[in-house]
Structure 1
Amino acid sequence: MTQNVSRRHLLAGAAATLILPASARAQETPRTSERVTRNTSSFVAQDWRDHFDTLGAGAIVCDTASRALHFWSGDGQDYRVYPTSVPKTDELTRRGYTRVVRKKVGPSWTPTPSQLERFPDWKPIGPGPDNPLGTHAMYLDWPAYLIHGTHDTRKIGRPSSDGCIGLYNEKIEELFALTPIGTQVRMI
């Protein structure tokens, strides 16, 4: 018996051999302890009960490994996940518990003392498109640590900050409106 192999069958077979290894890799789930290196957020599910005793005014978990910010409203009815930028290195990453102490629309940016040591020519920047804090900022009770927007959308999904958590401007505006002062925050 003779088999007729058409060009269509040949191409379909070749495509299957290329797709199979990629689909098998897609099934692999990275461990949360591994540092994610691609420019995308691989959200790891979070539950506020794993981090806080109560929701209080609300709760935020900033997961630096999966590059995601998880938000829960104080009544527990609203849960949202946002892709973020995260600190460039572990040395710049502060972990632990803090809270939102101040919020500002149109924030001004001032370089920190450690930034000025590395980049002495940096100057403060007022609100506007050149401001690295974007359109909205939520200040934490840790000095110089913020959750803020960014005009540079290439930073989202990457380790690109000196310690802050950055969101797309439209997402920080949304989170800003939902988050009362006093919201508890955990950086992991």
Structure 2
Amino acid sequence: MTKTSTFQLNRRAFLAGSAALVGAPALAQTAGTTELEGDISSAVRRNISSFRALDWRPYFSSLSNGAILVDITSRALHYWGEDGQSYKLYPTSVPLTEDLTKRGRTSVVRKVEGPEWRPTPSMKKRNPEWPDYVGPGPDNPLGTHALYLSWTYYRIHGTHDTRKIGRRSSNGCIGLYNQHIAELFARAKVGTQVLLI
């Protein structure tokens, strides 16, 4: 073996080892979850979100009451204020599978700070060990704030488990970092139009 081939072999081994070390924390953090919505280790391991600013016009006829667009594919939530000047873009968690995903038009029908959580009947059927009720606080799967949608059981809410953001990890809801849902909660109002695509 020549000196050059030894260097290339060692360089190759070094790069492979470095890649493994860089990936280790990401794999280690998927070992479990503190939330009840589902174990993210069975979800897609990649944490992705597409941060591309969008214009509201292709999606809404007006900004009456403001507008929220959730793009399931890019795992991003877009908010436009009624004034047309306010625009926010947030990374989200999205439903774990297509059969848990609902798309279409809805609206915010209720806002709750410090929400309570109860599993839906289908969640309880899939996970009978889950509690029937979790009160407000750090163990609550809905985080610090929740925007209830006109669709039964669907919400845009916070999460204390920040590993979920950017992933397919929920049972149908759209999750945000707690600081982002608090900001959106302050901007959105009952009647804000919502579109999930």
TM range (shorter): 0.7 to 0.9
Aligned-pair CA distance for 1:121: 1.9
Aligned-pair CA distance for 1:45: 3.5
Q: Does structure 1 conserve the Cα–Cα contact (< 8 Å) formed by 2:71 and 2:196?
A: yes
Aligned-pair CA distance for 1:122: 1.3
Aligned-pair CA distance for 1:134: 0.1
How many angstroms apart in 2 are the aligned matches of 1:141 and 1:160? 22
Match of 1:31 in 2: none
Aligned pair in 2 of structure 1 residues 136, 150: CA closer, same or farther (>3 Å)? same
Q: Does structure 1 conserve the Cα–Cα contact (< 8 Å) formed by 2:96 and 2:169?
A: yes
- Once the two structures are superposed, the pairs formed by residues 77-96 of structure 1 within 5 Å of their partners are 77-96=85-104
- Once the two structures are superposed, the pairs formed by residues 101-120 of structure 1 within 5 Å of their partners are 101-120=109-128
Matched residue of 1:49: which SS? coil
How many angstroms apart in 1 are the aligned matches of 2:97 and 2:111? 26
Paired residues, number: 157
Question: Amino acid of the residue matched to residue 108 of structure 1?
Answer: E
Match of 2:24 in 1: none
- Once the two structures are superposed, the pairs formed by residues 47-62 of structure 1 within 5 Å of their partners are 47-62=55-70
How many angstroms apart in 2 are the aligned matches of 1:90 and 1:108? 26
Q: Percent identity?
A: 64
Match of 1:75 in 2: 83
Structure of greater Rg: 1
The answer to whether residue 162 in structure 2 is matched with residue 153 in structure 1 is yes
Unpaired runs of at least 5, structure 2 = 1-6, 16-43
TM-align CA RMSD = 1.8
TM-score (normalizing by structure 1): 0.79
- Once the two structures are superposed, the pairs formed by residues 142-181 of structure 1 within 5 Å of their partners are 142-181=151-190
Unpaired runs of at least 5, structure 1 = 1-9, 19-35
